[in-house]
Amino acid sequence: MMSRGLHNRKLAANPETSSLRTLIYHKSIILSVTDMPWTIVLSSSVFFVCWSLYRLIRRASTRTTLDNVPGLPHTSWLRGNLPKMYDSNAFRTHQEIEETYGSVMKFYGILGERRLYVSDRKALYHVFVKDQDAFVQPEEYYMAYVFKPVASDQRREHRKLLTPAFNINRMRQLTPGMYEVAKKLKRPFDGELANGPEEIDVLGWITPIALQLIRHAGLSFDTPTDGDASEAFATAIIETLPISGWTRIRRQILSWAMGQAGERFRRFALNYRPWRTLQLLFRPAHKVSDPLDPTISALSATIHMLAKNPSAQDQLRNEINGASGNRDDEIPYDVLVDLPFLDAVCRETLRLFPPFVTIPRVTATDAVLPLSRPIVGVDGKELHEIVIPAHTPIYSSVLSANRDPAIWGADTYQWKPQRWIDGLPQAVKEAAIPAIYSHLMTFVGGGHSCIGVEVLQFEMKAMLSMLVNNFHFALSDKDEDISWETTGVTSPVLVSIDGTKTHQLPLVVTAIDVN
């Protein structure tokens, strides 16, 4: 039998195959395709339109248990409510949803597909812990069939192999290198502030350093914090993650379309769809300078909140200065992670500003979702549980779970680190939130929880200890034009007079006199 490599070399040598085009999808995935006759293009288009209409009519005429769940009205036959659910300001959208519909709500996706929004803590326990094999990650997360999800037993094996790289001993080993990277962030500030306080885009300064921290902690090697190496690393992240709301919608449309037929049709479409169209569907909507990492997101939010709360900033500086003795001294790992107010500042920021505001899932089978608080159905009756058909997308709101007023109290939307010092409300302790970190869904729970929690916390604390101990941060005149948006990773956005949005965090920074 002729090997694939030999076959490809013969094709390349044959003059009749000069019209072949090579498409590289991911490293070793190479597909050769010829020009497709227009008759096939036309017939395929007609088939797809007819099949879509059939699915639309069938879905509209078929009632499910989700029809009794109250929710958003159907506003678009193609996109449903996805533009609203992917609104860049999830802080506003999710609060409106909670105030109007509560912790469970139905909404519509592609061609009237029924979907479920959930922030109820008991429901989240079943989604992420008890019935996690019934609520799986959607295939759109795997780049439209380029990457495939692994089975639960394989995932557990992977976690078992990776966990030692994120334990406490590993963090202690990385401590000296982490501080060296953090000190690189201080040097540009020193140069900028030589002549006094200056307005600085803090986000622009911390992004390359945070990426350097990722490389050091996760990959154990260092590269320059600027130039081609940093640019290439950030570009790789952009091209891997579906970060903007519209990019997510485009990918969902493609994923939905590819899922409507069998494997043979998928292979046919994969071979013959125009490469330019695929590029448009997957084109990143962010620039390399945009925040791409949870550490960058969390650190930016923390510094912004400290600038808004000068007394908290002073309290934190006093605590760090007392632990270090000298502004240039490194605080040992075990001392740093146990500083109470620094820990409270990080926890409160991660509560109010989770890097990812929603975690998508889809039901692999028919499932029952119990609720901690009943909702009133469209028929006027109370629902204590919801029967969910197979293949139903679930949107788990991390943001709303972290800000639930029934659990956290009336001041839940305020940034108050002191709540972690004084003691959390009893309702929080009794809520049994299915989380691995401080009663917060920020890092989820169960088999899909984030194994890098300790790394992220240490990165935040190491960089904050250096920054807050050496610099004072205050709001600039542009602060009213800064908003926090959630296009993939929660990040600050500066809105100009003409409405243009750029990822910036301008703050007035002052060097603290060591004398």
Token code pair at residue 12: 């390349």
Is residue 223 within 8 A of residue 212, CB to CB? The reply is yes
CB contact set of 373 (below 8 Å; sequence gap of 6+): 102, 103, 120, 406
Consult the annotation and say whether 450 binds a ligand: yes
**308: Cβ contacts below 8 Å, ≥ 6 apart:** 415, 475
Measured from the Cβ of residue 95, the count of other Cβ atoms closer than 10 Å reads 16
Closest Cα to residue 209, out of 245, 244, 183, 191?
Answer: 183
How far is residue 309's CA from residue 288's CA, in Å, rounded to a whole number? 30
CB atoms within 10 A of CB 333: 20
The pairing of strands 393-397 and 114-118 is: parallel
The DSSP line for 71-123 is B-----TTTTTHHHHT-S-HHHHHHHHHHHH-SEEEEE-GGG-EEEEE--HHH
CA torsion angle for 158, 436, 244, 89 (degrees, to 10)?
A: 170
Contacts of 333 (CB under 8 A, 6+ apart): 171, 172, 175, 458
Instruction: Report CA torsion sign: 446, 451, 454, 460.
Output: negative
Binding annotation for heme: 450
Binding annotation: 450
